[in-house]
Structure 1
Amino acid sequence: MSDELKAVARERVGKGAARATRREGLVPGVIYGDKKPPLSIALPAKETALAANSDSFMARVINLDVDGKTHSVIAKDVQRDPVKDFVIHVDFLRVGKGSILTVNVPVHFINEEAAPGLERGGVLNIVRHEVECDVPGNAVPEFLEGDLTGLDIGDGLHISAIKLPPGVVPTITDRDFTIATIAAPASLKSEEDEEAEAAAAEEAAEGESEDAAAEDGDSTEE
């Protein structure tokens, strides 16, 4: 998908102006940041919806053409209609030279076929679909790769196993947090539960036998 969008400047602002913009088939938005005044804009609804539906929309720099002038921006907030789910407003943050941005970077998982746990029927339990990172404004990664090679049932993929691009640092730095785990399938859990119950029953039976033997010994002594 292209990293470019076109827009026009909006002179009127406010709820009434925003509703009028939507009636014209446009999406109202605003560009702010980089120590410059905010700029109200209107974007074509179809192109904006296509871009916003990408899982990397809020993790990549966009060249936003506003009346012929290009602004390097990153989407910071996408508001949607609560019923129909279409985009009703977009906030963009200017990306200045040398800026560091805090963004949520999506995680894509690879090599599922090389994970023994999945081959055995395990389930990929995704703990984090995206990771919040501080990234260079001129090198925002579209996604991070989580390699599942060698993971068995009960294993986890942690942030330390993710190869991060240069300059990309997770905002959580005090622990090696989990990205995903390989969970046991329901059938295997049932078998383990049955085995545990059988073992408990056997242990209880052995205990009862020992108690009975002890009582017989006591009776004999009397």
Structure 2
Amino acid sequence: MSEKIKAEARTEFGKGAARRIRREDKVPAVIYEHGNVPIHVTLPGHETMMALKNGGANALLELDIDGKTQLALTKQVQIDPIKRHLEHVDFIAVKKGEKVTVDVPVHLVGEAVRETLVVTENATVQLEAEATHIPEYIEVDIEGAQVGTQIHASDLTLPAGSALLTDPETLIVNVTQQVSAEALEADLEAAEAEAGIEREEAEAPAAGAEGEAASEG
């Protein structure tokens, strides 16, 4: 589902022009289309930020550029690290029914059995999907998963119309035995001993120092 945003074509470029655009609470953006000259536009800041948040990693926006509609798939978003406002957005021009290659995040749901460690080995998978039907995420159910459970890319349930491009044997989730703090400490001591590293014992305070401390008290 695409978000509709009114855009303005722009002819001014460079850092100075970008700063002027941002001062007006707007965002400079570029739409890239294979074989054509990139389209430079200005977008409303708050409205665009909300559309990108709602659309997820592969937000699809329906841009109205001076009366002409263009579907645009988000490819790169630059955000100010301090003020957290949009700095710049890069889009890819797409058409309805067109297939695109996207990286889709993996979301875990449920809980594995107690005393297990759930490791997400790969947080995204690459899919081919219709531009207007890109899944926001792929859900992976780990409810009741036992130690030794491994979920590979081939085990994922994909939405209709999507095809897996990631190697099917790619490990996505690995469930292992949780290691206690005591076991970790023992392993560390064993490794240090094998490496010939001796731990320094905390030095006890000298008797004279103890006496001085007591007399001062």
- Determine the C-alpha separation between the residues in 1 that align with 2:152 and 2:113: 20
Which amino acid in 1 is paired with 2:20? A
State which of 170, 174, 180 in structure 2 corresponds to 1:187: 180
Match of 1:119 in 2: 113
Distance, in Å, in 2 between the alignment partners of 1:187 and 1:164 is 36
Q: Secondary structure at the match of 2:183?
A: helix
Q: Is the 8 Å Cα contact of residues 2 and 132 (structure 2) preserved in structure 1? A: no
Q: Does 1:39 align with 2:39?
A: yes
Cα separation, 1, equivalents of 2:181 and 2:138: 31
**Displacement of 1:167:** 3.6
Equivalent runs, 1:21-60 vs 2, <5 Å: 21-54=21-54, 56-60=55-59
39-48 or 86-95, larger mean C-alpha shift:
39-48
Over the matched positions of the two proteins, sequence identity in percent amounts to 36
Question: What code does the residue aligned with 2:175 have?
Answer: I
CA RMSD of aligned residues (A): 2.7
User: Shift in Å at residue 95 of structure 1?
Assistant: 0.7
CA contact (8 A) 1:61 1:73 kept: yes
Shift of 1:97: 4.6
Gaps of 5+ in 1: 198-222
**1:213 corresponds to:** none
Q: What amino acid is the match of 2:86?
A: V
When the two structures are superposed, what TM-score results if normalisation uses the length of structure 1? Answer: 0.72
Q: Cα gap change, 1:6/1:183 in structure 2, threshold over 3 Å: closer, same or farther?
A: farther
**Which of 149, 171, 179 is matched with 1:178 structurally?**
171
Over 3 Å counting, the alpha-carbon distance change for 1:59 and 1:124 in structure 2 is same
Shift of 1:88: 0.4
CA contact (8 A) 1:64 1:71 kept: yes
- 1:119 is paired with a residue whose SS is coil
Gaps of 5+ in 2: 191-217
Give 1:188 shift.
8.2
| TM-score (normalised: structure 2) | 0.73
- The DSSP-based 3-state class of the residue aligned with 2:180 is helix
1:95 match? 94
Distance 1:105 1:182 in 2: 22
Q: CA deviation at 1:122?
A: 2.0
Confirm whether residue 19 of structure 1 aligns to residue 19 of structure 2: yes
